[in-house]
């Protein structure tokens, strides 16, 4: 998947009772400018009752907020047996970088919020926040401006999430592009802390996951960096030397480093390891990572593990 009609997309999972009037009241109470309210599309997959919020009208940038009282279609359909869901997914209506099974994986790897491992099973509906520069665009208009800023887009969408937590029926926040689940308390605490420290709240957009390769070696990765037009990052490491919390922090720091870098990193570059300054780790760019969703990743590992990592990479696609 790649960004197209929609450049960003967040969700709120609900119990299926939420109305568009509830959403409008919550957003107007925080002075969001609602340009119009639109009727639902013929098929809910493409849009339920919708509010259109101004983002950057100079470049036709708007945010569509709709509510659907159906379960999230985590399989994302099938071209033969569920073609409507498949078509909506392929057009980005469930998120520009969403991949089948994302909600299941988000629940499985909901380390920050333990209730997220089970709450998704209770949902019966969802709210979508979809940012686009294509609403009402003419055929010759670009799908997105050349100087669009994905970081600003995500920060603005964060400000919409906070009032939506108070809407009746809302269960939690779900970022399908980064496979992140959060309740109001953990979302607000992290959001507030980052604002106070002037840090990028990347953990609200991108998840970190842990996998065991064998008894000695672990692998942790990010999923969701593509929202910022960045590679995701994998770390292969000896479990006896590094705790998962250390690798989690390392992956976040590398992601933020990439955000400030004016180039893409390449295979074979040396890089500092976790808490180190001696360029003891190596980089490898792969077209696909070790685990879904498929996307380009920057794999990092200690030089001492190079031979083992090469064997691990034998079946992976280098980019």
pTM of the model: 0.94
Using pLDDT thresholds of 50, 70 and 90, give the confidence band for residue 309.
confident
* Residues in the chain, overall count: 319
Say if residue 303's pLDDT is above 80: yes
Residues 40 and 50: beta-carbon distance below 8 Å: yes
Q: What are the CA-CA distances from residue 73 to residues 13, 24, 227, 306 (Å)?
A: 12, 25, 21, 40
> What is the pLDDT at residue 2?
74
Say if residue 109's pLDDT is above 70: yes
Q: Where are the alpha helices (DSSP H) in 120-243?
A: 150-164, 184-197
Say if residue 210's pLDDT is above 80: yes
- Which among 10, 26, 7 has a CA at the least distance from the CA of 18? 26
The mean per-residue pLDDT over the stretch 122-142 comes to 88
> What is the pLDDT at residue 198?
95
Say if residue 313's pLDDT is above 70: no
Distance CA 19, CA 53 (A): 17
- Per-residue pLDDT of 46-65, as tens digits, reads 999 999 999 999 999 999 99
Using pLDDT thresholds of 50, 70 and 90, give the confidence band for residue 315.
low
Largest interatomic CA distance in the chain: 60
> What is the pLDDT at residue 175?
98
> What is the pLDDT at residue 156?
98
Using pLDDT thresholds of 50, 70 and 90, give the confidence band for residue 1.
low
Using pLDDT thresholds of 50, 70 and 90, give the confidence band for residue 3.
confident
Say if residue 146's pLDDT is above 60: yes
Alpha-carbon radius of gyration of the chain: 20
Using pLDDT thresholds of 50, 70 and 90, give the confidence band for residue 4.
confident
> What is the pLDDT at residue 162?
96
Say if residue 71's pLDDT is above 60: yes
Say if residue 250's pLDDT is above 70: yes
Q: What are the CA-CA distances from residue 187 to residues 33, 39, 103, 164 (Å)?
A: 24, 30, 17, 12
Chain mean position to CA 319: 22
The mean per-residue pLDDT over the stretch 302-307 comes to 89
Using pLDDT thresholds of 50, 70 and 90, give the confidence band for residue 306.
confident
Distance CA 287, CA 278 (A): 28
DSSP per-residue codes, 222-288: EE-GGGGT--EEEEEEETTT--HHHHHHHHHHHHHHHHH-SS---TT-EE--TT--S--EEEEEESS
């Amino acid at each position: 998947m790649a960004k197209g009609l929609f450049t960003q997309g967040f969700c709120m999972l609900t119990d299926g009772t939420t109305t568009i009037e509830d959403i409008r009241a919550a957003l107007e109470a925080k002075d969001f400018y609602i340009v119009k309210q639109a009727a639902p599309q013929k098929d809910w997959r493409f849009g339920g009752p919708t509010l259109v919020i101004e983002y950057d009208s100079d470049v036709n940038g708007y945010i569509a907020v709709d509510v659907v009282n159906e379960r999230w279609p985590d399989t994302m359909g099938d071209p033969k047996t569920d073609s409507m869901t498949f078509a909506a997914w392929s057009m980005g209506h469930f998120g520009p970088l969403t991949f089948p099974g994302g909600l299941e994986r988000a629940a499985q790897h909901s380390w920050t919020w333990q209730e997220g491992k089970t709450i998704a099973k209770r949902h019966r509906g969802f709210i979508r926040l979809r940012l686009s520069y294509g609403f009402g665009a003419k055929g010759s208009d670009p799908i997105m401006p050349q100087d669009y800023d994905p970081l600003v887009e995500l920060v603005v969408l964060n400000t919409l999430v906070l009032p939506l937590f108070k809407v009746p029926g809302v269960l939690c926040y779900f970022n399908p592009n980064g496979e992140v689940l959060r309740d109001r308390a953990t979302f607000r605490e992290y959001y507030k802390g980052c604002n106070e420290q002037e840090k990028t709240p990347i953990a609200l957009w991108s998840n970190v996951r842990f996998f065991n390769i064998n008894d000695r070696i672990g692998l942790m990765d990010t999923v969701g960096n593509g929202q910022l037009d960045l590679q995701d990052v994998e770390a292969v490491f000896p479990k006896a030397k590094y705790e998962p919390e250390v690798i989690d922090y390392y992956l976040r720091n590398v992601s933020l480093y990439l955000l400030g870098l004016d180039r893409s990193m390449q295979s074979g570059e040396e890089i500092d390891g976790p808490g180190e300054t001696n360029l003891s780790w190596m980089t490898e760019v792969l077209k696909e990572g070790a685990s879904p969703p498929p996307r380009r990743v920057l794999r990092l590992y200690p030089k001492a593990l190079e031979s083992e990592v090469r064997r691990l990479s034998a079946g992976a696609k280098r980019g």
